[in-house]
Amino acid sequence: MSQHYDMIAIGAGSGGISAVERAAEYGRKTAVIENHKLGGTCVNVGCVPKKIMWFASGIAETLHAAGGYGFEVKVNGFDWKKLVAARDKYINGINVWYTSYLADSDIEHIHGTARFVDARTVEVNGERYTANHIVIAPGGVPTVPDIEGREHILTSDDFFALEEQPARVAVVGAGYIAVELAGLLNGLGSEVSMLLRKDHFLGSFDAMLRETLMDEMLGA
């Protein structure tokens, strides 16, 4: 016997949760299916943990520059594991909040991987669920090409699983994710190289901003 909903979202990231949230506000029976942590890429392996580490990198830069402003600052080192533990604790708090929020909003949270049975039916862990509307919002994952040495490659997702700070890093890519990770790793003390196809990064960004940033990063 299947359970029926007005709307089901596959994926509990920003897209999926926003869809069922709005439907629930109008009194519709809703559910969200997720096989990982609530919050999607942004909360778990994207903007939120990245900003925490970027903030730590900014603190390191401030400490480095403090002497020029008359402060006598002695830094006894940097503990990568302590930063990671604090970051993960913060993210876990958001995951817990999402669980409570969904319950308070009368949105059912179904943990598992959805498989379509037909256009209006999905199966999760052997249970079937039907809905008038099914929103497909599972997000995406990085792809690593099948090349020699791929065992040494880390994706942006893998970065957030690093237990030790890398002494040297080569960042392949020219987009904003590559630039952000390169900048924060450099700020925290890693030796960083960027590998680009063209002579600049951030191709779709304002040229003046891009050139100024490149000059700053090359001099870092």
Residue 220 is predicted with a pLDDT of 67
3-136 and 166-218, same CATH topology? yes
Contact 37, 90 (CB under 8 A): no
CATH topology of domain 3-136: FAD/NAD(P)-binding domain (3.50.50)
Q: What pTM did the predictor assign?
A: 0.88
Query: What residues does each domain of the chain span?
Result: 3-136, 166-218
DSSP 141: -
> How large is the average pLDDT for residues 186-215?
92
CATH of 166-218, one of 3.40.50.1400, 3.50.50.60, 3.20.20.70, 3.20.19.10: 3.50.50.60
Q: Of 137 and 174, which is predicted with more confidence?
A: 137
d(Cα 97, Cα 118) in Å, to the nearest integer? Answer: 33
Contact 166, 172 (CB under 8 A): no
Lowest mean pLDDT among 66-75, 88-97, 115-124: 66-75
Q: Residue 74 has which token pair?
A: 């002695």
Contact 102, 109 (CB under 8 A): yes
- Is pLDDT above 90 for 91? yes
Q: Looking at 153-195, which runs of residues are DSSP E strands?
A: 168-172, 191-195
Contact 132, 6 (CB under 8 A): yes
Name the percent of the chain lying above pLDDT 90.
85
Residue 200 is predicted with a pLDDT of 87
